[in-house]
């Protein structure tokens, strides 16, 4: 309420004494003080200052909680990223195995199809041979000549 940076004010009492601004402030503070020695003019400031101090402390605590919460969330997200990266690697490995197995099965399927066609041709040849053996001689000769050609 009172400033200590006042310029000296000269108040004359009986034309020989002067009082400075600091002295006036000190006198006013003394006159306004209550029995506890605390200046009553500052009683109005104490609640405001105390309220401001409490608000500042509360804001600091809130900011600290917010930083801790943010740090915790960051750590949780970091852990989740690590978990997801690990899961992604596992899935990539499984996919590579499935693709490898699929390629092997496709190759084996193609081999078996080729073998099947060869066996069908061989079976057809054996069937013709069997028919030729069971038929009269002229058919056998025709069959044998067809084979030689």
Q: Summarize pLDDT for 108-138 with one digit per residue, the tens.
A: 999 999 999 999 999 999 999 898 888 776 5
Give the pLDDT score at 137.
Answer: 65
Q: Is the pTM of this model over 0.95?
A: no
Average pLDDT over every residue of 64-84: 97
Residues 62, 67: Cα–Cα separation, whole Å: 9
Closest of 36, 23, 132 to residue 147, by C-alpha: 132
> Of 69 and 6, which is predicted with more confidence?
69
4 Cβ partners below 8 Å, 6+ apart?
22, 25
Reading the block at residue 149, the tokens are 């050609």
pLDDT of residue 39 exceeding 50, the answer is: no
76 Cβ partners below 8 Å, 6+ apart?
none
Q: Cite the DSSP H helix spans in the chain.
A: 21-32, 45-134, 137-148
Average pLDDT over every residue of 78-105: 97
> Of 6 and 22, which is predicted with more confidence?
22
pLDDT of residue 44 exceeding 60, the answer is: no
Average pLDDT over every residue of 25-30: 77
Query: Mean pLDDT of all residues in the chain?
Result: 81
């Amino acid at each position: 309420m009172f400033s200590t940076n006042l310029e000296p004010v000269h108040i004359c009492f009986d034309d020989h004494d002067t009082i400075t601004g600091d002295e006036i402030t000190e006198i006013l503070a003394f006159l306004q003080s209550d029995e506890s020695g605390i200046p009553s003019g500052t009683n109005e400031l104490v609640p405001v200052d105390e309220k401001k101090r409490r608000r500042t402390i509360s804001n600091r605590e809130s900011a600290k909680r917010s930083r801790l919460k943010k740090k915790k969330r960051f750590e949780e997200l970091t852990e989740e990223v690590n978990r997801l990266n690990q899961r992604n690697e596992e899935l990539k490995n499984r996919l590579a195995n499935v693709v490898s197995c699929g390629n092997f099965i496709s190759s084996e399927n193609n081999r078996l199809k080729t073998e099947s066609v060869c066996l069908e041709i061989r079976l057809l040849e054996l069937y013709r041979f069997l028919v030729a053996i069971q038929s009269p001689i002229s058919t056998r000769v025709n069959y044998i000549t067809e084979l030689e050609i």
